[in-house]
Structure 1
Amino acid sequence: MAGRTLPTGLTALAVAYIAATGGAARAADKPPAPTHADVKYGPHPRQVLHFWKAKADAPTPVVVFFHGGSWMKGDRMEVDRRGLLALLDDGVSVVSVEYRLISDARRADVEPPVQWPLEDAARSVQFVRSRAKDWGLDRSRVGVSGVSAGACSALWVALRDDLADPASADPVARESTRVACAAVFDAQTTLDPQLTRAWIPNATYGPHAFGRFGGDPKGAFEGFLKARDELLPAIKRYSPLEWAGAGDPPVFCAYATRIRPAGEAQRDPTHSPVFGVKLKEKLDAVKVPCEVRYPGGPGTGHASARDFLKAVLTATAAPK
């Protein structure tokens, strides 16, 4: 990372993780200014994105990135902190998306609240495709990425059925949401509390996505678990794992912590690599490429998210 000042407060583990997963920072201390900043892709004030155009004579691939923060906070410049603006040097353009948060959905009485951030993820991909001609993008080479909740959003877009509505009066809504690949960091792959608790005994993540708040995180999760049957249709609709199947695009998942033996509490249950391993099991069964990297893991495949995205999106034959 020579030539780049590291953010204060990073632990040695965090530094190693960022480097290993593609966060080797750009040469400049400050990220480049977006080619187009705060572009609106919807009417809500949070429905805006930044676009960075890679220098190229021909239409470029593009990666659409969603920041983390439990769908409750975060900022678009996490795309630079994860090193993905370095893709500009690889001839890949980059988009980083702001989206409506859980709090916005709750104020609007949207149920479940997670509907809004996930629908915004899909809408932003459609919007980017709608700008392909103006922005010099290759519509067939769109990848998605994200961190934590943003990673869940990215996987949901990548794995679910196409949300294009050919009959819509809105030209953006007529665009496809299907992508060529997904490369994510610390992803939750399911929001099903029953599955999560079976995999990770100290899990507490997910109640907020379905409007279940109150008390400590463990207590909120127990309430979420009790309400599972009532919420199951929505849980299935918004969990990436439920959509995984044959014909899906290749996936790369990076995690910061090791896997502890089955049945033991995980060091970071919200971001445990168990989530990625379980997704890989399902995708392996239908022969969809899925790489999962974490400390102590197999270490096969691409070395970083950046390497994976570059390899897939700049391949000689355009992804289908």
Structure 2
Amino acid sequence: MLCLCVLVGMHLAFAGLRGPEIRDIAYGPGTSNRMDIYKPSGAGPFPVIIYIHGGGWWNGDKRFISRDDLDYMLSKGVAVAAINYRNLVEADRDRIFPPVLAPLEDTKAAYEYLVRNGAGVGIDGRRIAAYGGSAGGFNALWLGLSLQKNQPAEGLRAIGGIDAQTTIDPFEMRDWVSPSINYGGHAFGLPEEDFSSFLARRENFLGYIAALSPSYLVGAGSPPTVLLYSEDLQHTQGDHMSLVHSPQFGSGFARAARKSGQEVTLLDGASGNRERYTTFFDFLIAHVLN
């Protein structure tokens, strides 16, 4: 625990070296519905990339954005909007089922705020991309894919995930990643470690899985999508966090997309090749600048 606290403290201090130009915009009614906006030099309105923090939908904070990633996007003339959102505990408080709907709906509300009100804060609401890490990447994928399914999403130009989960279907997770994976039930209010109950109740959740899982939503006409993973596709380490962030999530998703006529850019092995990060952000930047 001491090591974790020290690492978190270092991360916060690191991210805090550059403060946002606009802090804690209220994009919704809850105390967690807050957004920071970082702007590049020059006159706006600027295209914007939304950053959605990870943390398994349990924790995390908008301040955790990487300084290197932030500075790179700003250097290209793109603003960054980092958001907080309700976690699973707050979803339970608000009696939302499945609990994962709370962080997803908040992500959509933040996007819609920028579309409607971006001009007032120097943002071009017609040129938006979204990305996140881990569960935040899931949010970004769901945002873009669900918008495209249900309504025109002309303002959302691209979506991306870093070490992101791409499905909350336990069958797909076991098929794509490993029979040993133990993740996802918490999205439906189950203990995360009780994967057997998740499998047993899958039929009860299928309607939600179809509506919320990026793997079910992707198809022809989906927004341009890029996925980045720290490990390479040949990585065989089997500890819990390795499986939760496995590049096989990306590989399985890319196959599902391809079957429906959509190509996905998949970048693996980023821990050994930092240029993968540049490629990832260049993908998002290019789509909001053009």
The 8 Å contact of residues 158 and 225 in structure 2, kept in 1 or not, is answered as: yes
For residues 41 and 74 of structure 2, what CA distance do their matches in structure 1 show?
Answer: 7
For residues 98 and 104 of structure 1, what CA distance do their matches in structure 2 show?
Answer: 12
Q: Deviations over 1:205-235 (max 9, x none)?
A: 101110002xx72xx1111011000111112
SS of alignment partner, residue 24 of structure 2: strand
1:66-81 equivalences under 5 Å are 66-81=52-67
Answer with 233-242 or 80-89: which moved more.
80-89
The offset of 1:287, in angstroms, is: 4.3
Does the C-alpha gap of structure 1 residues 118 and 158 become closer, same or farther in structure 2, counting only changes over 3 Å?
Answer: same
The offset of 1:244, in angstroms, is: 0.3
1:44 aligned residue: 30
Answer with 304-313 or 153-162: which moved more.
304-313
Q: Which amino acid in the other structure matches residue 313 of structure 1?
A: V
For residues 187 and 156 of structure 2, what CA distance do their matches in structure 1 show?
Answer: 24
Answer with 301-310 or 109-118: which moved more.
301-310
Among 117, 120, 123, the alignment partner of 2:103 is: 117
The offset of 1:245, in angstroms, is: 0.7
The 8 Å contact of residues 51 and 131 in structure 2, kept in 1 or not, is answered as: yes
Normalised to the residue count of structure 2, the TM-score between the two structures is 0.85
Q: Which amino acid in the other structure matches residue 125 of structure 2?
A: R
Among 282, 286, 289, the alignment partner of 1:311 is: 286
The 8 Å contact of residues 48 and 98 in structure 1, kept in 2 or not, is answered as: yes
Instruction: Flag structure 1 segments of 5+ consecutive residues without an equivalent.
Output: 1-6, 11-27, 166-174, 316-320
The question of 1:250 aligning with 2:236 is answered no
The 8 Å contact of residues 121 and 157 in structure 1, kept in 2 or not, is answered as: yes
Q: Which amino acid in the other structure matches residue 187 of structure 2?
A: A
The 8 Å contact of residues 15 and 63 in structure 2, kept in 1 or not, is answered as: no
The 8 Å contact of residues 41 and 49 in structure 1, kept in 2 or not, is answered as: yes
Among 137, 144, 164, the alignment partner of 1:187 is: 164
1:283 aligned residue: 257
Q: Which amino acid in the other structure matches residue 189 of structure 2?
A: G
The question of 1:151 aligning with 2:126 is answered no
Higher helix share: 2
Does the C-alpha gap of structure 1 residues 290 and 139 become closer, same or farther in structure 2, counting only changes over 3 Å?
Answer: same
Q: Deviations over 1:141-164 (max 9, x none)?
A: 100010100000000001113598
For residues 231 and 30 of structure 1, what CA distance do their matches in structure 2 show?
Answer: 40
For residues 48 and 184 of structure 1, what CA distance do their matches in structure 2 show?
Answer: 21
Does the C-alpha gap of structure 1 residues 227 and 29 become closer, same or farther in structure 2, counting only changes over 3 Å?
Answer: closer
SS of alignment partner, residue 167 of structure 2: coil
For residues 287 and 247 of structure 1, what CA distance do their matches in structure 2 show?
Answer: 8
The 8 Å contact of residues 291 and 301 in structure 1, kept in 2 or not, is answered as: no
1:231 aligned residue: 205
The offset of 1:82, in angstroms, is: 6.4
Identical residues among aligned pairs (%)? 30
Among 115, 123, 145, the alignment partner of 1:129 is: 115
Q: Deviations over 1:87-122 (max 9, x none)?
A: 111100000000011001112221110010000011
SS of alignment partner, residue 37 of structure 2: strand
SS of alignment partner, residue 161 of structure 1: helix
The 8 Å contact of residues 257 and 272 in structure 1, kept in 2 or not, is answered as: yes
For residues 135 and 205 of structure 2, what CA distance do their matches in structure 1 show?
Answer: 19
The question of 1:207 aligning with 2:185 is answered yes
For residues 159 and 223 of structure 2, what CA distance do their matches in structure 1 show?
Answer: 7
Q: Deviations over 1:5-63 (max 9, x none)?
A: xx9769xxxxxxxxxxxxxxxxx985322111111111111111111122233422100
Normalised to the residue count of structure 1, the TM-score between the two structures is 0.78
1:274 aligned residue: 248
Does the C-alpha gap of structure 1 residues 29 and 109 become closer, same or farther in structure 2, counting only changes over 3 Å?
Answer: closer
Q: Deviations over 1:121-179 (max 9, x none)?
A: 111000011122212222221000101000000000011135989xxxxxxxxx95861
For residues 172 and 108 of structure 2, what CA distance do their matches in structure 1 show?
Answer: 25
1:105 aligned residue: 91
| CA RMSD of superposed structures (Å) | 2.9
Answer with 140-149 or 30-39: which moved more.
30-39
Instruction: Flag structure 2 segments of 5+ consecutive residues without an equivalent.
Output: 9-13
For residues 23 and 41 of structure 2, what CA distance do their matches in structure 1 show?
Answer: 17
